[in-house]
Structure 1
């Protein structure tokens, strides 16, 4: 398969620099490469994530200059940033809302990858690197949520770190190591602050590896059909897709800016505006919205160790997805049954998020009242979460492997060009 011509230095300085530090060639090869001509706007979320990541790193560095990682001063330092630091009123919400926007974009990015088969050969390594990035994002986000040292920060840290105590033999030692002592306290806050500062740079490095892994096999596309003719099936990434990405970034930033300037606290729990108090437990401990599906899975299992395994297993299964999906057809666009089960899967994930935000004893719907107490009885969120957790695992472990063997896909276009120009006469 042919490719676009590489960088050709013109001036003497460009030739001199290219022979010693080919940084211009690197930039050229990063942006001028064959890209399937039929990519839709679902493919713009990679660029959106890159912009948000840089925003998070820049705002995080500035906030770290004013934040004090001490249990007696952390809460006040956040108030100082928002009230006294120049533009702190904007930078702190940018960082907090940015975390939610980043997870929103990454979930869309991952759902798109599953739907269009971007995890399939030859892109298994690309997918696995992406899952590692997602894991580090979750760790970074959790540690960042602890730093404001409000009620939900403290008790969220207490609940989540205590989960590691469920592991046999090493659980207690692992929990004490995370705490830096025997309870969530000053050493814990310092460790989380240090790791929260460092991990985004590890994520940035993995993003570069992710882009490198993307450039080797090239982009997937909505049809899932491989590039057969570079001249007919592809376009240069720049300017065609840089313009498309730029437009999508502007639209996404409009939503981001609306949250930052008009409703910066909409995604925060009100209890986190109360200083952390180890003596007062909130009636209902709830993590950030992007952890809610996994929190629902954790509570769906009555056994503590079983709940922890179920929660972490929900992420671990993503690592083996390329080998669980046995279909030879990448895109679910041509797999009607797989598309149906995928839609149910997305709804199940949303439902798990809903269940995670509720108390397990709350009712999804009532079927009557208890004769003795008069209290409503019905279908609880506990059983709702259990059913959806079962479907989550069934989708990966049962449905995708079996469908790949029994489902008859629709006819696919012979090439990417024909999928775009269906009515155009074929060139000689």
Structure 2
């Protein structure tokens, strides 16, 4: 599914370029006349928001790298130099630091929207897998970036997470030594993380291009979960969805700016304004909020190897979601039981995040174990069972019927189990 370009260059320079490299025609067919389902709601605007945030993070990161010093003795002071001495350095640093949180906020909304509307189902499995790869790369990039200020939480967060790899049988110690660049988190570790933190966003940008390419083959999913069947079911990307995306981006930027200008340190940790000290462990090591659910899963397993496997398994299980949920109906709008369990799962994930922010003692440990068990139960038991036994509501025969209320018989292939 792709838009046929109607682009006809008029300027001689545009004609010359189009005859040798038809990039303007490609952009016109991909972002102007490309047909999208007419019933897309505002949950679909987060793809564009994330693209903007990625460009923003790369731009501010490049400028910050010009003033940052990747040395264990100088890194902390170089961040303070950026904040105090560089023109608008405070703005760049706060925009970049809060930008990571905004990116993951948008990314989690994007993922949950895909789960709710079944965007991982055929024919979009590859699209989902590429999006999952973007998620993995983003998590690695953000983790390495969090280490760079070289404060107490940066240092000890890096120590805790990287030391987990030592639990892997046979090769764990070798992997950990390679990650550290030695036998402890030190200057070599900081240099490795800085290099990778600078490189990975450009890799993410390349994978995003693949993601968009994969999206343009089958086209976007939609709230009804049925494929477009005629021109009545679609609208061109511009101006309908460019205006919609632009409005959503503006609203999101208001939230973003509120954090940057009014509460720039709200999502961080005060201990990171203390220079890293290998001889003084913070009383409570807490990662950034977007890692907290997985951190809670890690701590819930009373075994270093078991916790390591559970934490990474909780992430990797998302990759096989298209094969765990094999129901024919995509959208939760027509799956009443799935919709209930989906929201229970969302609450479970949020509660895991809260438990991960608390000291691992008392009721938090028990709650973490119960919530962890349900997390995997949802994917490995509930979804496969619902795929076979759930009775779904009748699905509209077309997008037009779902939007305009046209009278048509529901698709018999999708109206059953």
**Both proteins in one fold, TM over 0.5:** yes
Residue 138 of structure 1 aligns with which residue?
Answer: 139
How far 1:425 moved relative to its partner?
A: 11
Residue 124 of structure 1 aligns with which residue?
Answer: 125
**Aligned-partner Cα distance in 2 for 1:172–1:348:** 34
Find the residue that maps to 1:320 and give its secondary structure. helix
Q: Which moved more, 1:13-22 or 1:43-52?
A: 13-22
Is 1:180 the counterpart of 2:163 in the alignment?
no
**Aligned-partner Cα distance in 2 for 1:245–1:402:** 37
What's the TM-score, normalizing by structure 2? 0.96
Q: Deviations 1:165-219 (Å, cap 9, x if unpaired)?
A: 0000000000000000000000000000000000000000000100000000000
Q: Deviations 1:92-129 (Å, cap 9, x if unpaired)?
A: 00000000000000000000000000000000000000
Residue 398 of structure 2 aligns with which residue?
Answer: 415
Residue 154 of structure 1 aligns with which residue?
Answer: 155
Residue 377 of structure 1 aligns with which residue?
Answer: none
Residue 385 of structure 2 aligns with which residue?
Answer: 402
Residue 224 of structure 2 aligns with which residue?
Answer: 223
Is 1:297 the counterpart of 2:315 in the alignment?
no
Is 1:391 the counterpart of 2:374 in the alignment?
yes
Question: Is residue 101–residue 256 contact of structure 1 (8 Å, CA) maintained in 2?
Answer: yes
For the structure 1 residues 3 and 133, does the alpha-carbon distance in structure 2 shift closer, same or farther, using more than 3 Å as the test? closer
Is 1:47 the counterpart of 2:30 in the alignment?
no
**Aligned-partner Cα distance in 2 for 1:2–1:171:** 47
Residue 14 of structure 2 aligns with which residue?
Answer: 14
Question: Is residue 5–residue 25 contact of structure 2 (8 Å, CA) maintained in 1?
Answer: no
**Aligned-partner Cα distance in 1 for 2:87–2:400:** 53
Find the residue that maps to 2:162 and give its secondary structure. helix
For the structure 1 residues 15 and 343, does the alpha-carbon distance in structure 2 shift closer, same or farther, using more than 3 Å as the test? same
Describe how 1:365-376 pairs up with structure 2 within 5 A: none
Q: Deviations 1:326-367 (Å, cap 9, x if unpaired)?
A: 1000001100000000000000000000000011214xxxxx
**Aligned-partner Cα distance in 2 for 1:309–1:106:** 23
Root-mean-square deviation (CA, aligned residues, Å) is: 1.5
How far 1:4 moved relative to its partner?
A: 4.5
Find the residue that maps to 1:122 and give its secondary structure. coil
How far 1:17 moved relative to its partner?
A: 1.5
Describe how 1:9-408 pairs up with structure 2 within 5 A: 9-31=9-31, 32-229=33-230, 231-362=231-362, 380-408=363-391
Question: Is residue 4–residue 34 contact of structure 1 (8 Å, CA) maintained in 2?
Answer: no
**Aligned-partner Cα distance in 2 for 1:6–1:296:** 53
How far 1:23 moved relative to its partner?
A: 1.3
For the structure 1 residues 410 and 425, does the alpha-carbon distance in structure 2 shift closer, same or farther, using more than 3 Å as the test? closer
What's the TM-score, normalizing by structure 1? 0.93
Question: Is residue 153–residue 269 contact of structure 2 (8 Å, CA) maintained in 1?
Answer: yes
Q: Deviations 1:258-279 (Å, cap 9, x if unpaired)?
A: 1101110111111111010001
Question: Is residue 162–residue 179 contact of structure 2 (8 Å, CA) maintained in 1?
Answer: yes
Task: Return 5+ residue gaps in structure 2 as ranges.
Answer: 410-417
Question: Is residue 37–residue 399 contact of structure 2 (8 Å, CA) maintained in 1?
Answer: yes
How far 1:10 moved relative to its partner?
A: 3.9
How far 1:19 moved relative to its partner?
A: 1.6
**Aligned-partner Cα distance in 1 for 2:408–2:323:** 39
How far 1:423 moved relative to its partner?
A: 6.0
**Aligned-partner Cα distance in 2 for 1:95–1:9:** 39
How many pairs were matched up? 408
Find the residue that maps to 2:229 and give its secondary structure. coil
**Aligned-partner Cα distance in 1 for 2:11–2:188:** 56
Moved over 4 A (4+): 1-5, 423-426
**Aligned-partner Cα distance in 2 for 1:57–1:197:** 8
How far 1:394 moved relative to its partner?
A: 1.3
**Aligned-partner Cα distance in 2 for 1:268–1:86:** 23
Question: Is residue 2–residue 217 contact of structure 2 (8 Å, CA) maintained in 1?
Answer: no
How far 1:25 moved relative to its partner?
A: 1.1
